[in-house]
Structures are given as structure tokens and as C-alpha cells.
Amino acid sequence: MRMLKKSVLAAMLIGLFFGTQGWAADVVKLDLNAVYGATSFHTVGAMNFSKLTEKYSDGSVKITVHSGGSLGFKGPELLKVIKDGQVPMSDILMGVVAGSEHAFGISSLPRLVGNFDEAKQLYNDTKPIYEKSALKWKQKFLYAAPWPPSGLVTKNVVNSKADLKNLKTRTYDKNGAEFLRSLGGSPVSLPWGEVYSSLTTGMIDSVLTSAESSKNGKFWEVLKGFKVINYAYPLNMVTINLDYWKSLSKPQQDAMLKAAAETEKQQWQNSQARHEEGIKVIQEHGMVVSNESAEFGATLDTAAKKIVAKFKAKSKKDIAAILDKYSK
């Protein structure tokens, strides 16, 4: 009897060991590249997505978020990086990769929408196109959310087209560069991590960005004005390499999609809150926040329409139809 008990106990321990080993082998570990710093709005969203994925997958999918571009990937190359599987996942500022995939430039078109409600409707209309475009690059589109609206952050308050002449402005994509160039400005392309130092050295003297990013960058230390122009509500998306996606079990995929949907909803809400907070904080630190005049707004609209028309001319029918719907 004693020998029987020992045999049963040994069998249980062996079963427990191999059962545990089998569970551990089923845990999928993924890296997610995040371009912006750990406290950035979109990086915080990616971290929340990671936690939710682990929760809903019962711990079988663990995503490690690498913030601040610490993996060495910064922006324009990210579609190819994920396609090639150099990193399984990444957040991507869509306008930055529009040179590789035209559709991803839609959300950063100038003055196409004027508020968060319009931006959300535009996203709902374009999401199927984004999903299809991601597949072309061997990726599964998971979720997207906007940066708070872009404004002009400058050393001197900008009130007219004349104030933009030769203004060296850091822009985040081709649309912004063309927009400012058409208004007499001198757009400059820079990685986000080099913006502050470039402001201090005089390489640039202004930035096309949000109040949220102005707050995170402490731009009040080097700049004075924030002109509210609702230039765009540019989207950040998160994608996963299709091979990695297909390697997940159906329950794991469902868990990730559930986490993505929840994160997307929260990030849209957070974006508006972050915009309001950003405006408040930069004002508290002495920056002058001002709205465009009717005359200046009309000037900006004229320039914006030309950029949208040029983009539309290069677009397929489905994108062109959406642009017709939103063009003013």
C-alpha cells in the first residue's frame, strides 16, 4: 500500500511538472515598438493594450512595449519593418508611412475635419480601407486613435500668411510639408527625438504639433505661441505582422481583438481630454494660445484644398469618394 501511494504521488508530480511545462510553452511573447516616450499618450495606450491582451488571453499572450524608439526604429521604415518581421508589432503614425502606402495619409490631410466628432466619422468611413492596406503589407490592423489636433507652435505669435514666410517648421509628414511650403514656410523633416534640441540650436523655430505634444516636450521653454488651427487629427495605428497573427490560436486572436477594441475606444476619449489638458498646461507655463482670424482661416483653407485635391488625384475611387464627402 505504501509503495502504491508513493507511485501515485510520483505520477502526480510528473504530471504537474509536464503540465506546467506545457502551459509555459503555450505563452506567446511579443515585442511592440513604440516611437514615443513612456509617458506619451499613444505609448500609454499601447501599454494598456498590452495589459488587456494579457488579461483577456488568461496570460497566454504577453506583449512588451519598447518606448522611445529604443529598438532603433523611428517612423518611415515601420511598414517594412513589421512586414519583414524585424519586430512583431508597432505603433505607427500613419502619415509618416503615407509615402509607402497612400491611404495612410488620409487622416493627416489639412483641415479635412474640424472636430473630434468629424474625425471619428472619417475614421469609421476609412477603417475598411486601412485594414485592406495593412494586409498588403502583411499586417493585421488592430486599432487606431488620433493625436489631439495639430496647431502651430511658434516663437512669435502667428496671425497671417506673412508671419509664416520662411518659418522653419518641423512637420510630421509630406502633407504638412506641402501645406506650409505653399504658405511660404520652410518645412523641416525631423525625428521627434531631435525636435527640442533643434529648437534650441535654431535649426527650426516652430513645430506643427498638438498641445499635448507641446506639453510633453516642455516647448514653453523655447517657444511662445500656440495657434489653434485644427490642422488635422492624425491617426496612430497599431499593427501586427501577419505571420505572428496567424500563429496565435483563435482564442488568443479574439482576446487581442477585444483588447484592441477597448483600447481604441478609450484612446479616442483620452485624445480629447489630453487636448484640453494640454491647452491648459501650456497656458499655465506662459504660452499664448490664440484662435485663427476669419481672414487667416480662409487663407489656410485655400492652401488646404489644394493639398487635398492633389492627394485625391492620386487616389483610387474609394478614397476619392470619401474625400468628396469631407471636402468643404
What domains appear along the chain, each with residue ranges and CATH number? 27-326 (3.40.190.170)
Name residue, grid cell 492620386. 314
- Least confident interval from 25-34, 77-86, 115-124, 227-236: 25-34
Question: What pLDDT does residue 20 have?
Answer: 38
Q: 43, 262 in Cβ contact below 8 A? A: no
**pLDDT class for 26, splitting at 50, 70, 90?**
confident
For 159, what's the count of Cα atoms within 13 Å in the CB-facing half-sphere? 3
Predicted model pTM? 0.87
Residue 237 falls in which region: left (phi positive, over 0), alpha (psi -120 to 50) or beta: beta
Using pLDDT thresholds of 50, 70 and 90, give the confidence band for residue 328: low
pLDDT band at 193 (very low <50, low <70, confident <90, very high): confident
Q: Are 16 and 24 in contact (CB under 8 A)?
A: no
d(CA 142, CA 295): 41
Residue keyed to cell 479635412: 112
CB 234 within 8 Å of CB 126: no
* β-pair partners for 141: 239
Least confident of 14-23, 136-145, 224-233: 14-23
Residue 213: CA count within 13 A, CB half-sphere: 26
Query: Which one, of 170, 214, 164, 216, lies nearest residue 189 by Cα?
Result: 170
pLDDT at 165 over 70: yes
